[in-house]
Structures are given as structure tokens and as C-alpha cells.
């Protein structure tokens, strides 16, 4: 059965959200002013003194306080901490979904709003929401369709991205015909069609079983190495943070603060054998201690 007609009209500057899909980049190429300015500013993810206060009437809640970080371009970082510590809020500041009350956030030297408008990043959230009546390739190409790219271009990019995540041959399948892990890979492919410099991921593997999650960790690392994208990922998992990070950013709650940044020196070419490395256990122990420090 066919689903409702999909309108591709878009006006305004907020992320387009429908049925759990966040399509946050619409312009085909960065404008010249953005390229020139970005060349003189920090090339990675940068935050300085970020505060976020949510207000409802006379009531206010401070979600983030004085959060600062510097993630070099091409590196991998995770945000970890207890539920409610502001991990996702900080990620959403970079995604231009949450506006900071104070402080500065930059992606490749430009504001989150400019980064979104100029296709600098992609956002992957928990779950792999797909439009059930569209084939996998049509789901993966959805962001490009909304951007107005020609059908031949968006299909070529979607096929390339599906091959990159190991889903070549499933282009015509429906989401219901794929496993949860395969649908999550398709969600990552959808982000990769936009060829982002930065990949922002909010607990993308949280709903998966441990075996599937472990396999996708190393598929993601392979993709990051092949594309050179910078990663910022939210997680509750200590082992996931160690596997996927050059930097683990530890946060404490109420309000959310960055309490410690742990450098993980495993380099590139990581494999599942990493878990047997004595340093892996040491990093896990160091991270566990940091998470249990009093706020």
C-alpha cells in the first residue's frame, strides 16, 4: 500500500522533521563566503562556554553549564555520562536543534546554522526510522530528493552509500524485509549520501543486540576511515566509548558539565581484537572511575 504523498516544499531554517526523520542539510554546496571564512577558523568541532537554559513560563532548568571542547577534524569523540547529564543537548547544539543561551559552537569554523545550511554535517539518531512504503534506496536517497538533486545523482550516491555500509543488493527491499541492524546501516547510509564532514550520532546503536552492535562499531570505524569524517557520538556504553573514540568526553549532570576528557590512543585500523589489548581494560577502568566521581 502506498503511503501519503511526500511534499518536497521546504521553507524556513529549522531542521525538517517527519516520522522521526531529521533532514538537516538542504543546500547542494557550501557558499563561497562560508568556504573563505572556514579556512581561517578551527577545522573541527569547537565549543566555548556553552550554556543551555530551558524555560517554561516562570520555570527554568539549566541543562548545560560552561561546556568547552575542541575536537580536531577527522578525529572521533564520544559524549558519555548518566541519563539527564546533557549529552544529547550538547550534540543538538552542534546540530542547530538547540540554541545555546550563552557561548559559541563551531563546525569547521562556522555556526551550527551555517553548517546545516551548507551540508557540513549529518545527524543520525537512535532507531532507524524508514518510510515503510519506500524501498531502501528511496529511503536512503530521501535527503537528496528533498534537496532537489536530479534522480540520477541521488540514486548514484545512494547506491555508493549502501555499498559502503554493506547493503549492496538490498536496494529494492522494503524496510520490513531487513533486520534491525541492517535498517540502522541504511540510516547511516542515508547520512553518508550527504557527504558530510561531520557525523553527529545520538545513541545510534542503543536499540540493537550486543552482537549486531559490536559488528556495526567496526563497520562505522571503517566508514570513518574511508570518508575522513569527524565523529561526535552520544553513548551510555563504556566499551562503545573506548572503541569509537580518540577522545571520550565525560559529563556530569544537573547542570551538564564536562568533567574530564580522556584521550584514547589506539590510532587507526582498529579491529575486534582491540578488546584483548591490555590498554582497552585500562581505558575502561579509567572511564569508569571518571563516571563515578562526585559531581
Cα-Cα-Cα-Cα dihedral sign, residues 121, 126, 131, 135: positive
Cα separation, 200 vs 21, whole angstroms: 14
Count of CB atoms situated within 10 Å of the CB of 283: 23
The strand pairing partners of 105, in sequence order, are: 47
Q: Does residue 182 have a pLDDT over 80? A: yes
DSSP codes of every residue in 224-272: HHHH--EEEEEES-HHHHHHT-SEEEEEETTTBEEEEEEE----S---G
What are the φ and ψ backbone dihedral angles of 229, each rounded to 5 degrees? -70, 150
Query: Between these two residues, 133 and 210, which has the higher pLDDT value?
Result: 133
Same domain, 279 and 215: yes
Average the pLDDT over each of 126-130, 151-155, 205-209, 249-253 and give the range with the smallest value.
126-130
Same domain, 276 and 190: no
For 113-158, what is each residue's pLDDT tens digit? 999 888 889 998 876 678 999 999 999 999 888 888 899 999 999 9
* Per-residue confidence (pLDDT) for residue 188, from 0 to 100: 87
| Mean pLDDT score across all residues of the chain | 85
Percent of the residues in the chain that have a pLDDT greater than 70, as a whole number:
85
pLDDT band (50, 70, 90) for residue 32 = low
Can you list the alpha helix ranges (DSSP code H) found in 102-231? Answer: 112-117, 136-140, 142-147, 151-164, 180-192, 210-227
Cα separation, 284 vs 277, whole angstroms: 11
Cα separation, 212 vs 192, whole angstroms: 20
Same domain, 189 and 203: no
CATH number of the CATH domain containing 284: 3.40.50.300
* Per-residue confidence (pLDDT) for residue 36, from 0 to 100: 55
Same domain, 171 and 200: no
* Per-residue confidence (pLDDT) for residue 212, from 0 to 100: 80
Note the pTM of the prediction, 2 decimals: 0.81
* Per-residue confidence (pLDDT) for residue 129, from 0 to 100: 78
Q: Does residue 190 have a pLDDT over 70? A: yes
Q: Does residue 20 have a pLDDT over 50? A: no
Specify whether the CB–CB gap between 101 and 89 falls below 8 A: no
Residue 21 lies in a domain: no
* Per-residue confidence (pLDDT) for residue 3, from 0 to 100: 44
Same domain, 218 and 269: yes
- The DSSP symbol for 294 reads -
Number of domains in the chain: 2
Cα separation, 202 vs 142, whole angstroms: 20
Q: Does residue 192 have a pLDDT over 70? A: yes
Final residue of a domain: which of 194, 213, 246?
A: 194
Same domain, 116 and 215: yes
Range of the domain at 143: 131-194
Residues contacting residue 239 through CB under 8 Å, at least 6 positions apart: 275, 284
pLDDT band (50, 70, 90) for residue 181 = confident
Specify whether the CB–CB gap between 235 and 204 falls below 8 A: no
SS (H, E, C) 159-189: HHHHHHCCCCCCCCCCHHHCCHHHHHHHHHH
Amino acid at each position: 500500500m502506498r503511503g501519503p504523498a511526500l511534499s518536497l516544499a521546504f521553507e524556513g531554517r529549522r531542521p525538517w522533521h517527519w516520522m522521526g526523520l531529521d533532514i538537516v542539510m538542504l543546500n547542494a554546496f557550501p557558499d563561497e563566503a562560508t568556504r573563505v571564512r572556514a579556512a581561517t577558523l578551527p577545522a573541527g568541532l569547537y565549543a566555548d562556554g556553552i550554556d543551555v537554559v530551558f524555560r517554561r513560563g516562570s520555570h527554568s532548568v539549566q541543562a548545560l553549564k560552561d561546556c568547552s571542547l575542541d575536537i580536531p577534524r577527522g578525529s572521533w569523540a564520544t559524549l558519555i555520562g548518566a541519563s539527564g547529564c546533557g549529552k544529547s543537548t550538547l550534540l543538538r547544539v552542534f546540530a542547530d536543534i538547540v540554541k545555546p543561551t550563552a557561548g559559541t559552537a563551531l563546525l569547521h569554523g562556522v555556526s551550527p546554522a551555517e553548517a546545516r545550511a551548507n551540508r557540513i554535517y549529518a545527524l543520525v539518531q537512535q532507531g532507524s526510522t524508514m518510510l515503510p512504503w519506500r524501498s531502501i534506496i528511496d529511503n536512503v536517497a530521501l535527503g537528496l530528493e528533498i534537496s532537489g538533486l536530479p534522480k540520477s545523482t541521488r540514486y548514484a550516491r545512494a547506491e555508493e552509500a549502501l555499498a559502503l555500509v554493506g547493503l549492496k543488493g538490498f536496494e529494492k527491499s522494503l524496510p520490513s524485509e531487513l533486520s534491525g541492524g541492517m535498517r540502522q546501516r541504511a540510516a547511516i547510509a542515508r547520512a553518508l549520501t550527504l557527504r558530510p564532514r561531520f557525523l553527529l550520532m545520538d545513541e545510534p546503536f542503543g536499540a540493537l543486540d550486543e552482537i549486531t552492535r559490536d559488528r556495526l562499531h567496526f563497520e562505522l570505524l571503517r566508514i570513518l576511515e574511508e570518508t575522513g569524517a569527524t565523529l561526535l557520538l552520544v553513548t551510555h556504553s563504556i566499551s562503545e566509548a573506548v572503541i569509537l573514540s580518540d577522545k571520550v568526553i565525560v559529563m556530569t549532570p544537573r547542570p551538564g558539565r564536562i568533567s574530564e576528557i580522556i584521550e584514547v590512543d589506539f590510532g587507526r585500523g582498529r579491529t575486534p581484537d582491540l578488546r584483548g589489548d591490555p590498554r582497552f581494560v585500562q581505558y575502561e577502568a579509567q572511564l569508569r572511575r571518571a563516571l563515578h566521581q562526585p559531581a
